[in-house]
Each structure stands twice: as C-alpha cells, then as structure tokens.
Amino acid sequence: MRVDARQRAVPARRLRRRQVRRGVHRQLLPGGDGPVRVGGPRGPPGPGDGPGLHLRAFPAWRWHRSAVQAPVRALGAPQQLVLPAQARRLVARAGPDPSAGARAGVAVRPEDDATGPGRPTAPHRVGPTMRVVIVSPDPTSNSGGVERFCHTLSDVVDGLGGVATVIGAADVGKLSYDLAITNGMVSRRTGTPRIHVYHGCWVDHVRLGTRTNDYSLPWKTQFLVKGAAKEVWAGVDAYRVAVSEPTAAEVARWYRLRVHRVIPNGIDTTMFDTGDRGVARERLRIGASERLALFIGRAEARKRPDIAVAAASRAGYRLLTAGSGRVDGATSLGVLAPTELRTWIRAADCVLAPSDYEACSLGILEAIASGTPVLASRVGYVHTLVRAVPSYRDLTASPGDLDEFTRALTLLPSRHQAVAEVTAFVRAENSLARFAHHWSAAIADVTRRRAGG
C-alpha cells in the first residue's frame, strides 16, 4: 500500500504548519496604500488593474513578502523552525532587517502637526454634522486601556462639536456615520474615511512581553503571527495613528506601514491633580513614616510584578497592587475607582511600572500627573519622557533589570527636581486639551485628504 507523504509527516509539525498558514496567508499587505485584489491567472498585472498590488493565485505558502518577512523575523531562530521551509527561505532571501533608525521621520511628531511647530491657540473645530463612530473591543467597558481611550476620545470629539458613538465591531455596518476610528486588531472596512489607532505593535508585544512565560513555541508562533496579520490588515487603507513614537517605529519596522501621525494618550489632569501626601495618608489611615510602593494594572507576566516585588523588598518598601489579580509578596487593593486610585497614588512614595512592553500607559501618565514619582522601564512613551527630561533617566531602568530598579528606588529621595520637571511635562503634553488639539488636527487632515480625492 502506498503511503502519502503527508501521512508520514509528524502530526504536530503538520498541525503547526497549517495553523501558521491560516493565520498569515490571507492577510496581505498592499503596495503603498492601494487596494489588494486576489485572483486571476498567474502573470503580471494587466493595464486595467489600476493602482495597488495585484496578487495572483499563488499556493498558500507563497505569501506576499512584506506582510510575512517582518512577523516571521520577530520569532527568533527557534520559533522559526516551526514554520514551513518556504517561509524561512523567504525571510533569508530578504537579507538583514533594516533598523528602525533608518526610518527616522516616518512618523509625524505631535509638535509637527498641521498647525506648525508653535503651540496652537485653539484646536480645529469638528463640523456639527460630523458623525464619528469609535470602534472599541468592548463598548460597554471603561476599564481596559483601549476601552478607556475610546470613551475619552468620544468625549473629546463631542467637545469639538461632533457627535461620537462608541460601538463594537459588529455594529459598524448598522449605523450611518462620516468617520470611523478603529483600534488595534478591532477593525472593519468602511465606505467612509477611517482612522486606525495603533496602541502598540503586536509583534513586539508578544516577542518582548512573553519572554518570562512558559508557553510553547508553537503556541507563541500562532499567537504572534495571527495577531500581527490582523494589525496589518487593520491599518490598510486607513489614516494611521500611533500612541507613541516607538510604536510608530515598530509598525514601520514589522508591518512596513507608515504612521501618519503620533498622538500620545491624554489624561484628565483635573482628576489626577497634584495633592498632599500627608492628607491622603491620613484619609487612608497610613502612618507618615511607612514606605509604600504602588503597582498599578493587571498582575500579568508582561507587566513584571515579580520585579516590582523584588525591588520593593530590596529597597525596604511595602508593595501595594491596584488592579485585577493577586501578586505574591504584595498587598492587593483590588480594582479601584478613579477617585480611590487617585488617593492611593498620592499616598504612595512611588509607583513601580517595570513592564517589559508598554506603548503609552495611562496608569503611568496619571501617576506622574499626580506628582508621585514613577519608576518605569524604558519602553514606549517613557523614552519620550526621558528625552524631554534627561534627569528623569535615573528613575528608569532597562526592562527586566532588577538591579537597575533597586538602584532607582535608592536614588528616589534625591531626585525631587526630576520628578517635578517630568510632572510638569506630562501635565502640559498629555492633558485633554492637548489631546483634543492633536485629534482635531488629525480629523481635519483626513477631511482634507478626502476632499482632495
């Protein structure tokens, strides 16, 4: 009896191949911003094909290079071994990956927007008849970072004179609107202008954020490639916004997509205002001499609560956690309402944020705006803070470096000036007024592009 070659293959390897193929080969990146069309016999595009990349009916493994090389390259040599040989050769033929530095200027910095380098006197107004839908992973929630962003942006658009509605992806085709704003992997094609917001880059989120997990390589591979393909597809044919300059560079590096504008997250600086630590501690019945460090967010491996526990213990601080999940060696406060969180931030000596990957953390911005020192990993928007306030670097650390975090805690009492300067910077650059200005300029830019054909 003749045995088919596929039956002789190792079942697990065959399954991994199939999973990776299904996660990538349908998600294709166009040439430039033109549409992707699939089908027809093999051969060069005809004269009537129009702009964009015309993809002929290749076998599933012949993926479009620019959509696949970057996510595969991010896996590292051990993880690439689970991919089909054709995919590995595709990356090898492309040569070394160009550095993010070679793409300097790919993203528009906030200060270089359509109004010029000077500070604007007022944001652009959105037309009173403009209807905007903001697509959220969970429109009923206001707890996650992206979900909070969606509701904040909705309030900002309303304040600019438009009418904004936060919806789920399933409702995109059920409403009439003039502009859609999609987020992360949550996207739907629309017949109207669309802005897509990158709250991070999935490739680096998985590549850097799962280093301490014990997930299997096949699982990580499928998780990374499928998520990256969704983010690539979400950014196609959209005006692209990133929440930090490092995120814009990551999107350009891994997805070969140019980010049109960088808009850092905005926070309510009225709610998270500077306050008196003594008053906050008296309200919470905490002794004035007790040394407290606060960890904000879900207790997930990417946020490295283990580093927070170890550094706080070494430096003689009691660690508190505010968020879902429990951390061994810390006191859990649970999920706090904004007013409760503000009080605990003011009462703490510092906030620890040792994440392996963040794009532009709302928790970090709110803590800094409150005047509480934040000791953070140098990732995402923290690079912008260090560039703006060089002395703040002493209160940051390399991701995963326990010794650096411990050193930062020991230096904390002597860095009051750096804390004051970074607080002033965040309160000015990440205020809701500044956030509204950036977004009104982005919406005006999209409107001009639409009018220009």
Q: What confidence tens digit (pLDDT) does each residue in 317-363 have?
A: 999 999 988 999 999 999 999 899 999 999 999 999 999 999 999 99
Asked if 184 and 360 count as a contact pair (C-beta separation under 8 A), the reply is no
CA angle 21, 23, 26 (to 5 degrees): 80
Asked if 90 and 69 count as a contact pair (C-beta separation under 8 A), the reply is yes
Asked if 71 and 224 count as a contact pair (C-beta separation under 8 A), the reply is yes
pLDDT of residue 147: 94
Beta carbons within 8 Å of 31's beta carbon, 6+ residues apart: 52, 53
Asked if 26 and 34 count as a contact pair (C-beta separation under 8 A), the reply is no
pLDDT of residue 291: 96
Q: What is the pTM of this model?
A: 0.75
Per-residue pLDDT of the chain (453 residues; tens, 9 = 90+): 443 444 444 444 443 343 333 333 333 333 333 333 333 333 333 333 333 323 233 233 333 444 445 554 555 544 444 444 444 444 444 444 433 333 333 444 444 444 333 454 566 666 567 899 999 999 988 888 999 999 999 999 999 999 999 999 989 888 889 999 999 988 777 788 999 999 999 999 999 888 777 788 888 888 999 999 999 999 999 999 999 999 999 999 999 999 999 999 999 999 999 989 999 999 999 999 999 999 999 889 999 999 999 999 999 999 999 998 899 999 999 999 989 999 999 999 999 999 999 999 999 999 999 999 999 999 999 999 999 999 999 999 999 999 999 999 999 999 999 999 999 999 999 999 999 999 999 999 998 888 775
For residue 341, give both structure tokens. Answer: 């969180």
> Looking at the DSSP assignment, which residues form a beta bridge with residue 294?
320, 351
For residue 138, give both structure tokens. Answer: 């969970």
What phi and psi values does residue 163 have, to the nearest 5 degrees?
-125, 110
Asked if 315 and 406 count as a contact pair (C-beta separation under 8 A), the reply is yes
**Domains plus CATH for the chain?**
5-94 (no CATH), 106-267+432-451 (3.40.50.2000), 277-429 (3.40.50.2000)
CA distance 399 to 419: 20
pLDDT of residue 127: 59
CA distance 299 to 311: 16
pLDDT of residue 60: 32
Asked if 274 and 372 count as a contact pair (C-beta separation under 8 A), the reply is no
